[in-house]
Structure 1
Amino acid sequence: MIPPSSALAELADAAADLHGLPDAGRLRWSAPDTWHFTLAFLGEVGEDLLPELTERLGRAAHRHPAHELRLAGGGRFGDRVLWAGAEGDVGTLGALARSAAAGARRTGIDVDESRPFHAHLTLARATGRVSLRPYAEALADFRGTPFPAGRLELVRSRLPGSGTPGERPRYETVRAWELGT
């Protein structure tokens, strides 16, 4: 699920201050145009599975209503990943995530379920030993404007292949469905 550009811009403004914190240069920052909620990580999906996957994801989208979210707060997964969180109807977002994962499993796709769903957008990854605590604390009071969450999107990652230092993955929406009936 990709938040609207206005919500991403608010978060980008809040995150800009983080670049002035100690060791910020040792973090690999995600660009705002790549920020999204990963509802289910599917890994490699063969082209032959896409028709059934898109059918199942479409059904999953129609079973869940549009709902309201806001980007809010920040946290970290250890000292590896800095993230921004969400508030609002995260229960509906979590149910949608479970349905998307179930649809992928029924298609025959291995779904990474090593961690429970936690609504977040990855802002940065640590390269080496960096304490992410001050970054998460700096985002603790951030509260964006509420927005309607009304689409499920199948997003493909294109990993860097050129070997160029600093090159980042690219994301493209393969298909999208409106939530609800």
Structure 2
Amino acid sequence: MRLFAAVMPPEEALRELGHAVDRVHRMPDADGLRWTGRPGWHFTLAFMGEVDEKLLPDLHERLGRAAHRSEEFPLRLHGGGHFGRRTLWVGAAGGLDAMRLLAERAEAAARRAGVPMDEHRSYHAHLTIARTRTDTDLRPYADALHSFEGAPWTVSRLLLVRSNLPGGGAAGAQPRYEEVGSWPLGRAATD
């Protein structure tokens, strides 16, 4: 199964972001982008790819320990940016150091559970809102999101999510995400 560790913003934060993205979606040529589905908006902490089911018990245990060692932290959706000319995203502000540490712990948990992980890269908190397969200037869209400031919330859970890719190659089909594990952050959650 195709898995990743994640932080999911609460519904209120997603509604705020939805209003901002709706405005960007009305910009010239925005219909040429492939917009991600709102049910799938999340911050990926560690992408694991295909994971053998026999690794799941150890992975769950290790992710639980990673969550237990990580304290809750404040976060808010903030600004926008792009990776090259293919990915448009919304960023985060607040407890970024705590989020980076949680991402590192989730990645280490996966490695120790035997999940073959890609080469480690420095974590950059972002929530992908659109992609394109063509060479596209995404700066106007990122600039339109520059001043976006969402309300703060407290990150209190680490999630393990299964990504169910769409079948059949239907145009506009989006992956479906299914929570397969969830652990509260902090020592107090298990004491």
TM normalised by structure 2 equals 0.92
Aligned to 1:159: 165
What CA distance in whole angstroms lies between the structure 1 residues aligned with 2:176 and 2:64?
23
Does the 8 Å CA contact 1:75/1:83 hold for their aligned counterparts?
yes
Aligned AA for 2:43?
F
SS in 1 for 2:43: coil
Aligned AA for 1:153?
L
Aligned to 1:42: 48
Stretch deviating more after TM superposition (171-180 or 104-113): 104-113
Aligned to 2:3: none
From 126, 147, 156, give the equivalent of 1:150: 156
What CA distance in whole angstroms lies between the structure 1 residues aligned with 2:85 and 2:53?
36
SS in 2 for 1:39: strand
Q: Which runs of 5 or more structure 2 residues have no equivalent in the other structure? A: 1-6
Runs in 1 of length 4+ with deviation above 6 angstroms? Answer: none
Stretch deviating more after TM superposition (104-113 or 135-144): 104-113
What CA distance in whole angstroms lies between the structure 2 residues aligned with 1:112 and 1:15?
31
1:173 paired to 2:179: yes
From 61, 71, 84, give the equivalent of 1:65: 71
Deviations 1:105-147 (A, max 9, x none): 0111122345321111000001313210000000000000000
Aligned AA for 1:178?
P
Aligned to 1:87: 93
From 53, 60, 76, give the equivalent of 2:59: 53
Aligned AA for 2:27?
L
What CA distance in whole angstroms lies between the structure 2 residues aligned with 1:39 and 1:113?
14
Aligned AA for 2:168?
S
1:77 paired to 2:110: no
1:23 paired to 2:23: no
Stretch deviating more after TM superposition (107-116 or 134-143): 107-116
Aligned to 1:117: 123
Amino-acid identity (%): 55
SS in 2 for 1:165: coil
What CA distance in whole angstroms lies between the structure 2 residues aligned with 1:176 and 1:152?
6
Q: Which runs of 5 or more structure 1 residues have no equivalent in the other structure? A: none
Aligned to 2:137: 131
1:163 deviation in Å?
Answer: 2.4
1:91 deviation in Å?
Answer: 0.4
Does the 8 Å CA contact 1:67/1:149 hold for their aligned counterparts?
yes
Q: What's the Cα RMSD here? A: 1.0
